[in-house]
Amino acid sequence: MTAADLLAELDTIQPWHLDFYQDLHRHPELSFQEVRTAGLVSDRLSHLGYDVHTGIGGTGLVGVLHNGDGPTVLARADMDALPVREATGLPYASTATGTDSTGHQTPVMHACGHDMHVTCLLAAAQLMADHRDAWSGTFIALFQPAEELGTGARTMVEDGLADVIPKPDVALGQHVIGLPHDTVASRPGAALSAADSIRITLHGRGTHGSMPHYGIDPILLGSAVVMRLNAIVSRELPPGHFGIVTVGSFQSGSKSNVIPETATLLLNLRAYDDRTRQQLRDAIERIVKAECEASGSPAPPEFDYTNAFPLTENSLDAYEKVSAAFTEHFGNEAILMKPSTVSEDFSDIPRALGAPYLYWIWGGFDPDTYRRAEADGTLSKVIPGNHASTFAPVPEPTFRTGASAMTVALMSYLARRS
Ligand code: ZN
Ligand code: ZN
């Protein structure tokens, strides 16, 4: 039995999965609060005969299926939703609310398609469980919390993931995005950027606005910092070399005639290799410290590295093997994805387990609409990006493409060779 034979069975399980997807979409849960989702996944995996381990890193779980000799393959889906008010108008749109980490009530929506990831991986898990004669080895289906925070994968690793699963020979992950639903794409090497978020506190000395000479103005200091930071990419990286430094927030003071004590900057940086990432971090710290020195700041600046996303750097071997299988199954040339400036924490898992990995993207939108918008130059208006309140993959055939891609990739390692 080949991957194609296995996928012919997809039709028989499809109605169940579409209901399941719409139910998940109606009931999104914020990062580290994926209790209901994890419960549904756990029930399904147990029912299918997997050894299920729950509560890894909070709501994370794995299902392990041992099926004779052969490689061990791990596939991962993320489960969390976002604090976004859904505006899709779909009959199965979310009206859910949740409590965020600061205690505030917020609308919640699956605006990044993680409900689709969960459904596709469960479908692949069902096909693998129903057709054990077709393959040999060990399959690990992993469902992680809190991808949106960049900490869910790491939390599972730190909570002893390696103690409950065998070491995988390869790890696989996928994401649905604003592409046509007939498109599956990957690339060897750096596929998604590494990212850091940094909170920087600058210290001045508060005084009356009419007597600036008694104080040290953190707003002026912060302004100089922001101007200098924006020269890092243009003046310190070679032309054409990718890097991003964004100041996303600059807060200080609350009254026109008070020079405040401090200023706080929130920064985000992106890079396609760890050397550039380190170069950006070093340049930021150097500039901030020097500007504080120049202003006579009474205390050194504080750097708090908050969200950190690892680099997603696909294995060449895994890319060659899986993209050949995609080409054979989907019948078109393997599509090479462009490196993307977005970030993911998936690679924290294979990195910690010492396994090579492959991450790919697939589309969730009508191909004709997409290609017309692309030709008109209206893509950004017509196809919503991930995290938009209108992000709504077409359930079918997006599900079919995602479930097929995952199954084909799994079978490229696990299919029984006669
Ligand atoms: Zn996201
Ligand atoms: Zn996502």
CA of 90 to the centre of ligand 2 (A): 20
Q: Are residues 33 and 154 in the same domain?
A: yes
The CA angle 17-109-45, to the nearest 5 degrees, is 35
| Exposure string over 158-170, b if 16+ CB within 10 A, otherwise e | eeebeeebeebbb
How far apart, in whole angstroms, are the C-alpha atoms of residue 186 and residue 179?
13
Q: What percentage of residues in the chain have a pLDDT greater than 70?
A: 99
Q: Are residues 186 and 290 in the same domain?
A: no
CA of 408 to the centre of ligand 2 (A): 22
Instruction: Say if residue 6 is exposed, middle or buried (CB neighbours under 10 Å; 0-12, 13-18, 19+).
Output: buried
179-183, 218-222, 224-228, 242-246: range with lowest mean pLDDT = 179-183
Q: Which residues contact 110 (CB under 8 A, 6 or more apart)?
A: 24, 25, 28, 81, 82, 94, 116
CA of 272 to the centre of ligand 2 (A): 18
Q: Which of 80, 86, 196, 344 is catalytic?
A: 80
Counting ligands in written order, which one lies closest to the CA of residue 393? 2
Counting ligands in written order, which one lies closest to the CA of residue 387? 1
Name the pLDDT band for 102 (thresholds 50, 70, 90): confident
Contact 165, 373 (CB under 8 A): no
CA of 111 to the centre of ligand 2 (A): 8
Assign residue 216 the CATH number of its domain.
Answer: 3.30.70.360
CA of 316 to the centre of ligand 1 (A): 25
Q: What is the mean pLDDT of residues 243-264?
A: 97
Q: Are residues 183 and 208 in the same domain?
A: no
353 three-state secondary structure: helix
Query: How many other CB atoms are there within 10 angstroms of residue 377's CB atom?
Result: 8
Name the pLDDT band for 10 (thresholds 50, 70, 90): confident
Of 333, 318, 5, nearest to 170 by C-alpha is: 318
Name the pLDDT band for 211 (thresholds 50, 70, 90): very high
How far apart, in whole angstroms, are the C-alpha atoms of residue 243 and residue 266?
17
Q: Containing domain of residue 198, as a range?
A: 194-308
Number of domains in the chain: 2
Q: Are residues 264 and 172 in the same domain?
A: no
- List the structure tokens of 185: 């794409």
CA of 175 to the centre of ligand 2 (A): 7
Element (H, E) at 414: helix 395-414
Is-catalytic flag, 23?
no
Name the pLDDT band for 288 (thresholds 50, 70, 90): very high
| 391 alpha carbon, distance to own chain's centre | 15
Name the pLDDT band for 334 (thresholds 50, 70, 90): low
Select from 308, 330, 359 the last residue of a domain: 308
| pLDDT at 227 exceeding the cut of 90 | yes
Q: What percentage of residues in the chain have a pLDDT greater than 90?
A: 90
Q: Are residues 183 and 205 in the same domain?
A: no
Contact 150, 337 (CB under 8 A): no
- List the structure tokens of 107: 């609308």
Amino acid at 353: L
Q: Are residues 59 and 19 in the same domain?
A: yes
Name the pLDDT band for 418 (thresholds 50, 70, 90): low
Sign of CA dihedral 362, 363, 367, 373: negative
Q: How far is CA 329 from CA 129, 139, 173, 186, 338, in A?
A: 21, 21, 18, 15, 22
Name the pLDDT band for 360 (thresholds 50, 70, 90): very high
The pLDDT value recorded for residue 32 is 97
How far apart, in whole angstroms, are the C-alpha atoms of residue 367 and residue 375?
12
Q: Which residues contact 238 (CB under 8 A, 6 or more apart)?
A: none
DSSP letter (8 states) at residue 166? P
Record the pTM: 0.90
CA of 51 to the centre of ligand 2 (A): 27
- List the structure tokens of 363: 């589309």
Q: What is the mean pLDDT of residues 386-399?
A: 94
How far apart, in whole angstroms, are the C-alpha atoms of residue 275 and residue 277?
5
| pLDDT at 8 exceeding the cut of 90 | no
Name the pLDDT band for 333 (thresholds 50, 70, 90): low
Q: Which of 147, 196, 313, 345 is catalytic?
A: 147
The pLDDT value recorded for residue 238 is 96
Counting ligands in written order, which one lies closest to the CA of residue 78? 2
Q: What is the mean pLDDT of residues 47-62?
A: 98
How far apart, in whole angstroms, are the C-alpha atoms of residue 153 and residue 145?
7
Q: What is the mean pLDDT of residues 83-95?
A: 96
Q: Are residues 162 and 241 in the same domain?
A: no
The pLDDT value recorded for residue 415 is 94
| Beta-bridge partner residues of 171 | 74, 357
Select from 308, 331, 354 the last residue of a domain: 308
Q: Are residues 241 and 121 in the same domain?
A: no
Across the chain, mean pLDDT equals: 95
Q: Are residues 51 and 180 in the same domain?
A: yes
CA of 326 to the centre of ligand 1 (A): 25
CA of 112 to the centre of ligand 2 (A): 5
9-23, 154-168, 270-284, 365-379: range with lowest mean pLDDT = 9-23
Sign of CA dihedral 266, 272, 277, 279: negative
95-99, 273-277, 327-331, 410-414: range with lowest mean pLDDT = 327-331
How far apart, in whole angstroms, are the C-alpha atoms of residue 36 and residue 47?
17
Is-catalytic flag, 80?
yes
Q: What is the mean pLDDT of residues 367-372?
A: 94
More confident residue, 349 or 306: 349
Counting ligands in written order, which one lies closest to the CA of residue 175? 2
| Beta-bridge partner residues of 260 | none
CA of 290 to the centre of ligand 2 (A): 37
H-helix segments, 186-302? 218-229, 231-236, 274-295
Select from 308, 340, 358 the last residue of a domain: 308
How far apart, in whole angstroms, are the C-alpha atoms of residue 243 and residue 277?
8
Which residues are in the CB-under-5-Å shell of ion ligand 1? 112
Q: Are residues 154 and 64 in the same domain?
A: yes
Q: Are residues 24 and 75 in the same domain?
A: yes
Q: Are residues 352 and 223 in the same domain?
A: no
Angle, helices 395-414/114-130, rounded to nearest 10 degrees:
50
Q: What is the mean pLDDT of residues 220-234?
A: 98
The DSSP string of 224-270 is: HHHHHHTHHHHHHSPTT--EEEEEEEEE--SSTTEE-SEEEEEEEEE
| pLDDT at 14 exceeding the cut of 70 | no
Q: What is the mean pLDDT of residues 6-19?
A: 78
The pLDDT value recorded for residue 332 is 72
Of 114, 115, 84, nearest to 97 by C-alpha is: 84
